[in-house]
Amino acid sequence: MPVIAPWSAARPAPLATGREGTDDAMAAGTTVDHLTETYRAHYRSLLGLAALLLDDTASCEDVVQEAFIRVHSARRRVRDPEKTLAYLRQTVVNLSRSALRRRILGLKLLSKPMPDMASAEEGAYDQLERDQLIKAMKGLQRRQREVLVLRYFADMTEAQVAETLGISLGSVKAYGSRGIAALRVAMEAPA
């Protein structure tokens, strides 16, 4: 029968502490020096790659910097130092795609003004016109103002206006046409 040594007799493996564990981990992947040299040598080509995918220089530089940071933090997974540039290129492509997706999503989510919604300038112009109309309406004779308000603002028919004011249908038409003529003159006059 084979002899099995008890657990206490077996020598435990030494724990990796401090620098020794870091050096062993670095040996398993790309070194920082190799990654830095690859980055320096190929920075412009990586920037050019990002420029083909994105539209502005600032975004391209951000993508290339972020690619270096990500490959640096995952350098242990790059077992073959010759593939460091390939990892950097692929990371630049992936980050560029992500940036474009975020832009497209941002454009989709931007609130678009409603087609019938007036701009701020139009709103201000409309307010000035309303103020000018109110001022012109105050300048009309009392009956002309009453007929126009009931006819066009209260949306009454001429017969309803005549009944409400207790005047004839002909008078409603006469006050209405004279009031509109007076408003045209008042609105066209420079303020």
Token pair listed for 158: 């001429």
In this predicted structure, what is the pLDDT of residue 191?
57
Highest mean pLDDT among 3-12, 18-27, 60-69, 129-138: 60-69
- Give the rounded distance of the alpha carbon of 135 from its chain centre: 42
pLDDT at 105 (0 to 100): 81
CA 15 to chain centre: 51
What pLDDT score was predicted for residue 107?
78
Burial class (CB in 10 A: 0-12, 13-18, 19+), 61: middle
Tokens of 187: 């609105």
Cα–Cα dist 63/89, whole Å: 11
Of the chain, the percentage scoring pLDDT greater than 90 comes to 27
pLDDT in the model for residue 28 = 57
Task: Give the separation between CA 89 and CA 65, rounded to whole angstroms.
Answer: 12
Average of pLDDT values for 150-163? 90
Burial of 35 (0-12, 13-18, 19+ CB in 10 A): buried
CA 51 to CA 57: how far, in whole Å? 7
> With 60 as the cut, is the pLDDT of residue 150 above it?
yes
Q: What is the DSSP string of 49-88?
A: HHHHH-S-HHHHHHHHHHHHHHHHHTGGG--SGGGHHHHH
Distance CA 180, CA 17 (A): 95
Instruction: Indicate whether 115 pLDDT > 70.
Output: no
d(CA 144, CA 172): 8
16-51 confidence digits (pLDDT tens): 444 444 444 444 567 888 888 888 899 999 988 888
8 Å CB contact between 144 and 175: yes
